[in-house]
Amino acid sequence: MPPSTRIRNTLATAVRVVLVAVTALALSLTTVPPAQAAGGGPSISKKHFGTLSNGKKIDVYTLRNSGGMRVKILTYGGILQSIEVPGSGGEFANVTLGFDNLSDYVKKSPYFGCITGRYANRVAKGRFTLDGKRYRLAANDGPNHLHGGVKGFDKRIWKAEPFKRHDSVGLVLTYTSPDGEEGYPGTLRTKVVYTLTGDNRIRMDYRATTSRPTIVNLTNHAYFNLRGEGNGRILGHELQINASRYTPVDKTLIPTGRIARLGGTPLDFREPTAIGERIDSRNQQMVRGGGYDHNYVLDSRGQGLEVAARVVEPDSGRVLEVITDQPGLQFYSGNFLDGTLRGTGGRSYPKRSGFALESQHFPDSPNRKNFPSTVLRPGDVYRTTTIYAFSTV
């Protein structure tokens, strides 16, 4: 074979090899899921979010899983600032209410997405007695104490340490509350671990220890709209709560001490029901809350983490499950939103444009011996876990 012929054959073979390789590469790119093609596995990054008036800098961490779900967490208040999840058609939306700037969180926020403590929810008249000693807390909600006081955990700067595992990413937040802060006894060392998993779950693990006997009740106060924040009201969301009892409240929204049956009341969500179906009932409890703002006594089987509530948004197909080991769940239907707040997407938040499902011990437990205890003593460890699990129908 002449040299020129061998050269032509060699070149032709090389061209075929290159074409096969290019074709294989093109085929592989067309079969890679969009989220993987865009960036691969889970990731976490940090950016500056804003600066407080005292010069303290606040960061925002962005957690992303391999499916494209993104969660943004602030070091101010441990706030879940954004939660982007897909709908049944694959379209992503931020489903939690929040702000795009630090100033609004400092001056205007009704506890959007924050860690609430030391005591989430209400304590009657801001008073409780522990081991024979009477303690006084701030009355920052009419006559009562709410969500840890004037400057609770929602307004504190948390130290953050990111971590990454093969299928998840997360953030370890720590804060030490000194003895006497907001009137609470004991130095409380608190750790909250946020983990974003590969199956679109936000796991929140709470831990705390104390130097003196104290009371503790920690939760997250995210407001949700599964249609997307700023995208109308939540009245069409279908809610199911696994509870057959609740704690009725007085006119200041403090539990009366009774644990009552839900059957026959507009507060009964044992079967999936649209949030707006009975929200304007003239039932006394509904009138007092201006809608739903009540603690549900969960029908727990005592087996650790259990599904407390499930919410389906029919239009988007998005589903939220709240899974917890806590005895109670506060359902709040956004009754005090009034349209004056503008969210991350630039749209206003009218009344009932977001709902909260706060896993917790019962409100005013320190003053109710028949409620599960919230007392933490030196040598013991406060431990609780709650999961926000997102999916589609």
Indicate if the pLDDT at residue 6 is higher than 50.
Answer: no
Q: How far is CA 161 from the centre of its chain?
A: 19
Task: Indicate left, alpha or beta for 179 from its phi (over 0: left) and psi (-120 to 50: alpha).
Answer: beta
Give Cα separations from 31 to 36, 230, 335, 346, 386 (angstroms).
10, 34, 46, 36, 35
Would you give the end-to-end CA distance of the chain in angstroms?
67
Q: Say what the pLDDT of residue 113 is.
A: 98
SS3 call for 6:
helix
Residue 95 to residue 355: CA distance in whole angstroms: 11
192 contacts 206 by C-beta, under 8 angstroms:
yes
| pTM for this entry | 0.89
Residues in the chain: 393
Give Cα separations from 356 to 88, 112, 256, 352, 385 (angstroms).
22, 9, 22, 10, 17
Indicate if the pLDDT at residue 23 is higher than 90.
Answer: no
Indicate if the pLDDT at residue 144 is higher than 80.
Answer: yes
Residue 45 to residue 133: CA distance in whole angstroms: 46
Q: Say what the pLDDT of residue 130 is.
A: 98
Select the more confidently predicted residue: 5 or 167: 167
Structure tokens at 284: 């006394």
Structure tokens at 205: 């693990």
pLDDT digits (tens, 9 = 90+) for 117-133: 999 999 999 999 999 99
378 contacts 210 by C-beta, under 8 angstroms:
yes
- In this prediction, residues 353-377 reach a mean pLDDT of 98
pLDDT digits (tens, 9 = 90+) for 65-88: 999 999 999 999 999 999 999 999
Indicate if the pLDDT at residue 34 is higher than 60.
Answer: no
215 contacts 128 by C-beta, under 8 angstroms:
yes
Q: Cβ atoms within 10 A of the Cβ of 310, count?
A: 20
Q: Please enumerate in sequence order all residues whose Cβ is within 8 A of that of 112, keeping only pairs 6 or more positions apart, or say none.
A: 79, 96, 97, 98, 99, 105, 221, 222, 223
Tell me the pLDDT band of 135, cut-offs 50, 70 and 90: very high
User: 65-81: buried (b, 16+ CB within 10 Å) or exposed (e) per residue?
Assistant: bbbbbbbbbbbbbbbbb
Structure tokens at 276: 């707006």
SS3 call for 196:
strand
Q: Which of 244, 368, 256 minimizes the C-alpha distance to 308?
A: 244
Q: Which of 148, 132, 335, 317 minimizes the C-alpha distance to 233?
A: 335
Structure tokens at 53: 């008036």
pLDDT digits (tens, 9 = 90+) for 313-341: 999 999 999 999 999 999 999 999 999 99
Indicate if the pLDDT at residue 240 is higher than 70.
Answer: yes
Q: Say what the pLDDT of residue 7 is.
A: 35
Q: Say what the pLDDT of residue 301 is.
A: 82
Q: Which residue has the tokens 């506060």?
A: 330
The DSSP secondary structure of 102-148, one letter per residue, reads HHHHHHT-SSTT-EE-SB-SEEGGGEEEETTEEEE----BTTBEETT
Residue 203 to residue 220: CA distance in whole angstroms: 11
Lowest mean pLDDT among 21-30, 57-66, 200-209, 297-306: 21-30
Residue 354 to residue 293: CA distance in whole angstroms: 13
Indicate if the pLDDT at residue 13 is higher than 60.
Answer: no
**Catalytic site residues?**
221, 358
Q: Say what the pLDDT of residue 38 is.
A: 42
Residue 12 to residue 365: CA distance in whole angstroms: 82
352 contacts 233 by C-beta, under 8 angstroms:
yes
β-pair partners for 243: 298
β-pair partners for 194: 171, 204
- In this prediction, residues 106-122 reach a mean pLDDT of 97
Q: Say what the pLDDT of residue 342 is.
A: 96
Average pLDDT along the chain = 91
Q: Say what the pLDDT of residue 39 is.
A: 53
β-pair partners for 157: 76
Name the class of domain 43-392.
Answer: mainly beta
Spans of all domains in the chain: 3-31, 43-392
Tell me the pLDDT band of 244, cut-offs 50, 70 and 90: very high
